[in-house]
């Protein structure tokens, strides 16, 4: 089977949208893409169908999500506590532990068929991190990686006060991806006090607006992140 390569990526900005609704939307696209790939395996070369790619940007109301490898004890709120914080909670099917999504955070869900780009999940995660690192550099913020930990960190070299500014958690099947990254842009980081973020008790969390001392224009940051993702993946956003 010779798959037809498609580097076009449909960009969708969903604005502010409920977490579960967005998750269902992702699952629908993901399932269709995987089903098409399975069908292509049994199709003649001239009957191969092109798989679509998506890059979804969204902002969620207050929500905590727990990945497959996470521990429920890392959520420090009971049902009443969640109500008081006007937050919801979901156990979900991505990798990683617990994290928070909320207003002021840029959440990105790339639903890509990596057969259109490269078949390497490690490289996929590193390029998503690199897009955020390059974005932060445009705000004169030096960021990077800490060995053994996913995501993007400040003070990643000396680690006197290491703090995470972007979390990653993905799912993939047959080289199709879903879930993605959560970049704290104008986030209320007090909400992270209600969890053990990503299961790491001894590392802090930060947000870009706190680091630069002013609110960040949401549309501006979206354009910068889009630019770096499209360049790094050599994709054509449509």
Contacts of 3 (CB under 8 A, 6+ apart): 40, 48, 51, 115, 116
- Distance CA(123)–CA(95), nearest Å, equals 16
- Residue 197, class by beta-carbon neighbours within 10 Å (0-12 exposed, 13-18 middle, 19+ buried)? buried
Catalytic-labelled residue, pool 198, 205, 224, 229? 198
Q: Which residues on adjacent β-strands are paired with residue 179?
A: 170
In whole angstroms, give the CA distance from residue 188 to residue 186: 7
Q: Which residue in the block uniquely carries the two structure tokens 């958690």? A: 169
**166 carries an active-site annotation:** no
| Contacts of residue 85, Cβ cutoff 8 Å, sequence gap at least 6 | 62, 77, 191, 194
138 contacts 217 by C-beta, under 8 angstroms: no
**Nearest alpha carbon to residue 209 among 108, 110, 136:** 136
Which active-site residues does the annotation give?
198
């Amino acid at each position: 089977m010779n798959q037809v390569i498609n580097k076009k990526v449909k960009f969708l900005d969903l604005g502010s949208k409920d977490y579960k609704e967005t998750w269902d939307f992702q699952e629908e696209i993901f399932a269709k893409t995987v089903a098409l790939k399975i069908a292509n395996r049994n199709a003649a070369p001239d009957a191969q169908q092109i798989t679509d790619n998506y890059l979804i940007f969204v902002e969620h109301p207050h929500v905590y999500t727990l990945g497959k490898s996470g521990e429920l004890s890392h959520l420090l709120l009971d049902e009443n506590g969640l109500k008081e914080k006007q937050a919801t909670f979901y156990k979900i099917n991505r990798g990683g532990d617990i994290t928070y999504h909320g207003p002021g955070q840029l959440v990105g869900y790339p639903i890509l068929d990596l057969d259109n780009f490269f078949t390497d999940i490690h490289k996929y995660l590193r390029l998503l991190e690199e897009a955020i690192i390059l974005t932060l550099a445009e705000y004169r913020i030096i960021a990077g990686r800490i060995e053994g930990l996913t995501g993007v960190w400040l003070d990643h070299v000396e680690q006197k006060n290491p703090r995470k500014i972007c979390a990653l958690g993905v799912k993939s099947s047959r080289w199709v991806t879903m879930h993605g990254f959560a970049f704290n842009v104008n986030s209320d980081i007090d909400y992270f006090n209600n969890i053990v973020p990503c299961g790491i008790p001894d590392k802090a969390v930060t947000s870009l607006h706190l680091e630069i001392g002013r609110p960040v224009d949401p549309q501006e940051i979206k354009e910068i992140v889009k630019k770096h993702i499209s360049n790094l993946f050599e994709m054509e956003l449509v």
